[in-house]
Amino acid sequence: MRIVVVGAGKVGRTIAEHLTQEEHEVVVIDKDEVALHRCEDTLDVMCVEGSGANAKTLVEAQVDTADILIAATASDEVNMLCSLMGKRLGAKYTIARIRDPEYNESLSLLQTELGIDLSINPERASAQEISRLLRFPFASDIESFAKGQVEMVLFRVAPQEKIAGIPLWQLAQSLPDMPRVLFAAAEREGEIFIPGGDFVFQPGDHVYVTGDVMSVTRFFRFLGKNTAKSRRVMIVGGGRISYYLARLIVPMGIYVTLIEHNREKAAKLSEELPQVNVLCGDGTSQELLEQEGLTDMNAFVCLTDRDEENLMTGLYAAKQGVGKVIVKNNRLNYLDIIADLGLDTVISPRQITSAGILRYVRALAGSAGTKVEKLFRLMNGRAEALEFIVREGAPYLGKPLKELTLRKNTLVAMITRKNKVIVPGGNDHLEAGDSVVIMAGERGISDLSEVIIK
């Protein structure tokens, strides 16, 4: 597909990088000559210097031949104007990054009037992910499928874990009381596995387990892990993610303390979030954190604008024994190092934005077949979980899974049929209308027919 990306900043560049990896033809527009040169030197893209809100620049980028225009500048207003002009000039689909909470309530109207096919709000999406993580203090990642009926949860296998040292095919026999779930993927020393029957879990492995919400909860209770959601949460940083997060979790009965160093911003947050204990101070100060009861918190979330501050403050909170520590970090190259330091839960708004856009692009690319409904990039982008809705007339309908040939390094992780969640075995089959979750140890799948070969 031919895709025009407006904005060569951190988000736009990440989007362009992922799109070129999936072999799309990408054009990048930006006013910043230095940012464009950086894209030109490191990515296989065409660059156009100028404003994406200028019709002349869009014409120069041949937006009339674009399948998708993605407006990802730092300005919501520029992104909306760019989308409107791009659509009028001939772009088939438009995606706009719109982040300001003021636009949230009228977003549906704005999309309709401006011809925006998809709006992306990285901060709100990040807040939603954090709110899910607060459910399971031990989880590093939680993704949901089939309208929330299916969950995929990432956890680290602890020493002396009940499932450690037993081949997968033997688990049901050795642990007859274990709730039925599916082990979808594992990571060991940087290598990704789609576990087969002979796979043996070892302490330190990172494992994705999948099932319906109740079965997953019962599974972790069986392992002896604490499944009680966090009740007291401390947030450092008063940016948009913190605002959205507080709005999400306060109605869940969670007591929130929010620390922001900017006096004006702290005062505004105090007015907008009357049920939150908003403090003005340096959230990276160990003395202030201790004074405000850090050790009494169930969870600590660090969301300042500086990745280094988030990491160091998060490490301090973990050292003080806080059960759940979540930090924001957009430097994806450091994720393995961060995990080695003991911080398993890292939020990257840039990665979340990119995944949302890639899901939409792949859905359009596979529109003639069984398109991607949801897409999550897992394990630092080295694996993917994809949701499809099975269509009528597919050649594999009604055939037992054990008789089908699946693409190498893929797995049918879960089937949802008429609100019933099925942990698939060899004798199970697919029917039209099923929601099916696929785990893949590679990237680029856009259609279910690419997974089920025959």
Tell whether the model's pLDDT for residue 346 goes beyond 90.
Answer: no
More confident residue, 344 or 296: 296
Distance, in Å, from the CA atom of 96 to the CA atom of 117, rounded to the nearest integer, reads: 8
Mean pLDDT for the stretch of residues 62-91: 94
Give Cβ neighbours of residue 199 (< 8 Å, ≥ 6 apart).
167, 168, 183, 186, 193
Select from 297, 314, 347 the last residue of a domain.
Answer: 347
Q: Is residue 10 part of a domain?
A: yes
Q: Give per-residue pLDDT as tens, 169-228.
A: 999 899 999 999 999 999 998 888 989 889 999 999 999 999 998 999 899 999 988 767
Least confident of 8-22, 272-286, 294-308, 377-391: 377-391
Tell whether the model's pLDDT for residue 395 goes beyond 80.
Answer: yes
Residues 14, 82 within the same domain? yes
Distance, in Å, from the CA atom of 167 to the CA atom of 157, rounded to the nearest integer, reads: 14
Any alpha helices (H) in 72-164, and if so which ranges? 76-88, 107-114, 122-133
Tell whether the model's pLDDT for residue 369 goes beyond 70.
Answer: no
Q: Is residue 146 part of a domain?
A: no
Predicted model pTM: 0.79
Q: What is the CATH classification number for the domain harbouring 234?
A: 3.40.50.720
Select from 347, 376, 392 the last residue of a domain.
Answer: 347
Q: 256 — alpha (psi -120 to 50), left (phi > 0) or beta?
A: beta
Tell whether the model's pLDDT for residue 229 goes beyond 80.
Answer: no
Contact 32, 8 (CB under 8 A): yes
Mean pLDDT for the stretch of residues 56-72: 95
Q: How confident is the model at residue 415, as a pLDDT?
A: 94
Three-state DSSP class for residue 5 = strand
Q: What is the CATH classification number for the domain harbouring 366?
A: 3.30.70.1450
Q: Is residue 36 part of a domain?
A: yes
Select from 74, 98, 120 the last residue of a domain.
Answer: 120
Residues 253, 299 within the same domain? yes
Task: Tell me whether strands 191-193 and 46-49 are parallel, antiparallel or unpaired.
Answer: unpaired
Q: How many domains does the chain have?
A: 3
Average pLDDT, whole number, for the chain? 89
Q: Is residue 301 part of a domain?
A: yes
Distance, in Å, from the CA atom of 413 to the CA atom of 246, rounded to the nearest integer, reads: 33
Which structural domain range is residue 338 located in? 126-131+228-347
336 pLDDT band, cuts 50/70/90, is low
Closest CA to 22 of 271, 261, 377: 377
Residues 61, 7 within the same domain? yes
Q: Is residue 18 part of a domain?
A: yes
Residues 290, 343 within the same domain? yes
Distance, in Å, from the CA atom of 161 to the CA atom of 174, rounded to the nearest integer, reads: 13
Task: Tell me whether strands 25-30 and 46-49 are parallel, antiparallel or unpaired.
Answer: parallel
